[in-house]
Amino acid sequence: MPRTPVRPFRSRDWFADPARSDMTALYLERFMNYGITPEELRSGRPIIGIAQTGSDLSPCNRIHLDLARRVRDGIRDAGGIPMEFPVHPIFENCRRPTAALDRNLAYLGLVEILYGYPIDAVVLTTGCDKTTPSGIMAASTVDIPAIVLSGGPMLDGWHEGELVGSGTVIWRSRRKLAAGEIDEEEFLNRACDSAPSAGHCNTMGTASTMNAVAEALGLSLTGCAAIPAPYRERGQIAYETGRRIVDMAYEDLRPSRILTRRSFLNAIAVVSAAGGSSNAQPHIQAMARHAGVEIGPDDWSAAYDLPLIVNMQPAGKYLGERFHRAGGVPAVMWELLGAGRLDGDCLTVTGRSVADNLAGREASDREVIRPFADPLMDRAGFLVLKGNLFDFAIMKTSVISDAFRQRYLSRPGQEGVFEARAIVFDGSDDYHHRINDPALDIDENCILVIRGSGPIGWPGSAEVVNMQPPDALIRKGILALPTLGDGRQSGTSDSPSILNASPESAAGGGLAWLRTGDILRIDLNDGTCDALVDAAEIAHRKAEAPPPVPASHTPWEELYREKTGQLADGAVLEFAVNYRAVADKTPRH
Ligand code: FES
Ligand code: MG
């Protein structure tokens, strides 16, 4: 039955403009080469883009090369015309100097594609960490109907009868290597065993976190985020996603109707209760800013009291398969909704509310998804800190180990407060060169500080703040020291670092004047972190040359540094947030 869209499809301007039949002919002729006929293009059916993030360079998203077939089937069956196109690749582990440079680059490229081609709605294929926020940021800027299809996590990794999670196994094995418990061969075996199939990281690292965020925001079908990549259900939900986006095109159900302050608060609640990645902070901030939604540090603080209810590495024990079977993201949201900590009224891509989507989605495995009232840990969200070294930083409290709590946060009468002697590193090369230098005299009363690792300093902001203690300390059983930095850390890391410090040293932040030997006082009760250095001395040091910043080596690095803001503000291209709903303005012929 012919359907009428709520508003005319923008592709009509390419393929059915009576005033420019010459141009229409030009637009039509080439698509025949791969089987879309001029009749189809003129039929008035919506053209649905499939933003393909999988490639040999993006192995975490390679499953989408297969899933796209199922998406196409769904689009065709629902009466749309699929057009698949590549997105700039992003691969977290392998991209130097950091994949963080690519989030904004993929965003820019995708905006131009969605704006400049005859695309009426889009399926965003997501997986590896930054593929999710970059796609959502672009969909907001363009504001055509968009739906997120996660590729899903890898199968659970097992090594000699023990669950080994991707990413997390690296940090844990590094400590074992430093302690002399394993050799390099064993390190490699453990790493490979942690990644047994197609899919993104199987831990609650940044990839699982950001796909959970997409679902919490209302941008994917219910239950989509956590289905492991090789599972039968993954292909099924790819098909359903293809079907649904065609209806969304007819309904003109755009990101601007789904992404509201309330939906972003839902996302922050899910990240906090799931023990999600600290990278969610800049990514959520970036997506909110591109959506024109006000979100800030207070919103993370307001979610700090949420309990940890997901028992998944790095904060807990299990991995993605078990999480999915326990009920996945809907079961987490179900708990939050029941506790009054989720807004059930938000609209989602299903066309229904969050609460409607969650009906009957209670967890089936309470070992993995705990009841809100009986969590793994109380008050396990993100702490926001500030002080004389920075205006903003966060700490993921769900990964604070009992040993760390005992050593630093449990002095009688002084709970949550500690002082530590700073050991300052200028970037990760400096750290690696000097961490085992006995002259630094690093003991358990030290805090490891890294600067030069923010958006401008690195450039891009690197996952380097989870610095490991010197080998000698590890051999004594001290597996973690407090750390602080203006960079980020991997979402798979179990280090309770103070991260994302903004402004960074390269932007004039206080870490620039900090020196090895200074005493830092950290008070988690009132969210402060200060160097105990007097004002005159600070002024004196500020007059000296700041730490060196490496040169840009590519044109994009230079442009990125010029246009990108700080992690506190989402590290977005600042000028780009002024562009919104650009698809409302049809590009000229
Ligand atoms: Fe790509 Fe973890 S490295 S998902
Ligand atoms: Mg990462």
Domains in the chain, ordered, with CATH? Answer: 157-195 (no CATH), 384-550 (3.50.30.80)
Distance between Cα 446 and ligand 2 center (Å) = 26
Q: Residue 207 half-sphere exposure, CB side, CA atoms within 13 Å?
A: 36
- 129 C-alpha to ligand 2 centroid (Å): 6
Q: Does ligand 1 lie within 6 Å of residue 207's CB atom?
A: yes
Q: How far is the CA of 187 from the centre of ligand 2 (A)?
A: 20
Q: What is the pLDDT of residue 2?
A: 60
Cα 130 to ligand 1 centre (Å): 9
pTM (two decimals)? 0.98
Where would I find the H helices in 51-167? 63-77, 100-116, 131-142
With a 6 Å cutoff on the Cβ, whether 200 touches ligand 1 is yes
Helix (H, G, I), strand (E, B) or coil at 188: helix
| CB-based neighbours (< 5 A) of ligand 2, an ion | 92, 129, 206, 490
pLDDT of residue 223: 98
What contacts 462, CB < 8 A, 6 or more positions away?
97, 98, 100, 428, 453, 487, 488
Low-confidence ranges of the chain (pLDDT < 50): none
Asked if residues 229 and 195 have their Cβ atoms less than 8 Å apart, the reply is: no
pLDDT of 30: 81
User: Do residues 100 and 462 make contact, with C-beta atoms less than 8 angstroms apart?
Assistant: yes
Note the pLDDT of residue 205: 96
